[in-house]
């Protein structure tokens, strides 16, 4: 039986791969895991399928004896914040993050507001396969509606000083739940805010949800035409952030992370920066500036959180613009990431493009290729054999270290695709590495 949980949570096309039956059973399994008692915080993004799945999860949790604290429409970091702040035993977020509107997903959170570790996801799957334990009619749980957004909003305002420069920011939340927090929060902190794709619409008509450069052309044009200082873009549940500078150039997710880390950790003695095998070498440059170290893990938020819990960490993040601030939340928080990037810029007299030039330049190329899930293991084995003469890492997929840069060939944990990342000091070298990776990947898929 294939694993139900992917890189983080359960995800799939609604009413095809992810059904109300699955949601109901996940709710019952979580209640069983919690000992058929306790409180569970439940939030969702604004996809058209969200309310349907919410009702199924509430039924599953209640039938297993758990009370449900329903947060309604909420960004993922607010769900994490609420799970801990309201003293809940677990949290559930209904979101497919950056995936298209036809997808949805279900992510579990522990009482500290961190995503379930792999062993606990495995335990949920075992409960589902063996059958959950339901309670008698006298012990059925209840549900209540609770507001969490104001508490989260105020908690950030207590942590972050008001900005001094009055920067003009275009905020693109992609018709999604980031609109409930980020525009008003940045205004409160002293920014001039122009909202783009600000109306909530679960079909996401404004742009594709994934925060990658090709999806941010509208934001780039808006920044330039409005003479704004920068633009901020979230994905579907606001756990990721990308930035566009004043010229309309996209600052990649790992560079956003790097600038935020440099600002957030300044003055910290020997900071420990956690990131994944897919993230730019610019994080190593930041660590060198701060006198700290970089520790790399497998791709995925749970992997980073596990490393924080085992060995500590001062900040963690991924190449997609998701940053974890462990002294704030054990969760990727795109809203706090945007706030901290603007704080970093606000602490200087530079333009966003000038700030970006303060870090070494690397060129990246990111590609993807369709690959059925059942072929992924064979493809990876073939690739390993093909690159056996190079220095490689098998921590997550296959990372190949070359003289001119590095190449990562990695099967997605949430989609039937293989990802190809390449990085080098020149654009020509990065393109050549990506071309090499894609050639070998195509051959391996065809051969498998």
- Residues that are catalytic: 97
What number of residues does the chain have? Answer: 448
Nearest to 40 by CA among 111, 95, 115: 111
> Which one-letter DSSP state was computed for residue 159?
H
Q: Which residue has the tokens 């690959």?
A: 371
CA dihedral 105, 260, 221, 169 (to 10 degrees): 100
Helices 334-346 + 149-159 axis angle, to 10? 30
What span, in angstroms and rounded, lies between the C-alpha atoms of 191 and 164? 9
**Burial level of 98, CB count in 10 A (0-12/13-18/19+)?**
buried
Distance CA 336, CA 323 (A): 8
Q: Are 9 and 137 in contact (CB under 8 A)?
A: no
Beta bridge partners of 94: 44, 106
Instruction: Categorise residue 248: left if φ over 0, alpha if ψ from -120 to 50, beta otherwise.
Output: left
Q: Using CA atoms, how far apart are residues 137 and 17, in angstroms rounded to an integer?
A: 31
Closest CA to 75 of 159, 160, 168, 183: 183
Cα 236 to Cα 239: distance, rounded to the nearest angstrom? 8
Strand order in the sheet with 168-172: 192-196, 168-172, 230-234, 241-245, 250-251
């Amino acid at each position: 039986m294939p694993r139900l949980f992917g890189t983080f949570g359960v995800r799939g096309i609604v009413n095809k791969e992810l059904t109300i039956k699955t949601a109901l059973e996940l709710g019952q399994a979580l209640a069983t895991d919690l000992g058929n008692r306790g409180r569970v915080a439940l939030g969702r993004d604004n996809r058209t399928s969200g309310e349907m799945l919410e009702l199924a999860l509430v039924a599953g949790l209640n039938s297993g004896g758990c009370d449900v604290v329903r947060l309604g429409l909420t960004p993922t970091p607010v769900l994490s914040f609420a799970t801990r702040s309201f003293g809940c035993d677990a949290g559930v977020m209904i979101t497919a993050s950056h995936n298209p509107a036809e997808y949805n997903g279900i992510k579990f959170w522990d009482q500290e507001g961190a995503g379930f570790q792999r062993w606990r996801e495995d335990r949920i799957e075992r409960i589902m396969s063996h059958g959950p334990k339901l309670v008698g009619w006298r012990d059925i749980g209840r549900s209540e509606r609770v507001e969490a957004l104001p508490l989260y909003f105020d908690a950030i305002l207590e942590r972050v000083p008001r900005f001094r420069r009055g920067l003009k920011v275009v905020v693109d939340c992609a018709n999604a739940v980031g609109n409930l927090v980020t525009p008003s929060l940045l205004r409160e902190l002293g920014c001039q805010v122009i909202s783009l794709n600000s109306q909530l619409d679960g079909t996401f008509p404004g742009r594709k949800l994934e925060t990658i450069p090709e999806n941010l052309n509208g934001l780039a044009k808006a920044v330039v035409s409005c003479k704004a200082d920068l633009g901020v873009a979230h994905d579907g549940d606001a756990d990721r952030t990308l930035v566009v500078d004043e010229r309309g150039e996209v600052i990649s997710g790992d560079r956003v992370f790097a600038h935020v880390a440099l600002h957030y950790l300044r003055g910290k003695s020997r900071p420990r920066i956690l990131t994944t095998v897919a993230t730019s070498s610019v994080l190593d440059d930041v660590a060198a500036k701060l006198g700290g170290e970089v520790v790399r893990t497998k791709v995925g938020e749970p992997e980073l959180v596990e490393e924080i819990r085992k060995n500590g960490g001062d900040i963690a993040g991924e190449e997609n613009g998701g940053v974890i601030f462990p002294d704030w939340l054990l969760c990727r928080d795109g809203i706090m990431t945007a706030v901290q990037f603007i704080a970093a810029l606000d602490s200087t007299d530079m333009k966003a493009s000038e700030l970006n030039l303060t870090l070494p330049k690397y060129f990246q190329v990111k590609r993807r290729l369709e690959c059925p899930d059942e072929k992924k293991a064979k493809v990876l084995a073939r690739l390993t054999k093909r690159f056996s003469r190079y220095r490689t890492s098998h921590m997550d997929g296959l990372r190949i270290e070359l003289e001119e840069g590095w190449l990562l060939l990695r099967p997605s944990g949430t989609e039937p695709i293989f990802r190809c990342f390449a990085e080098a000091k020149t654009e020509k070298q990065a393109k050549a590495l990506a071309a090499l990776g894609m050639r070998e990947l195509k051959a391996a898929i065809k051969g498998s």
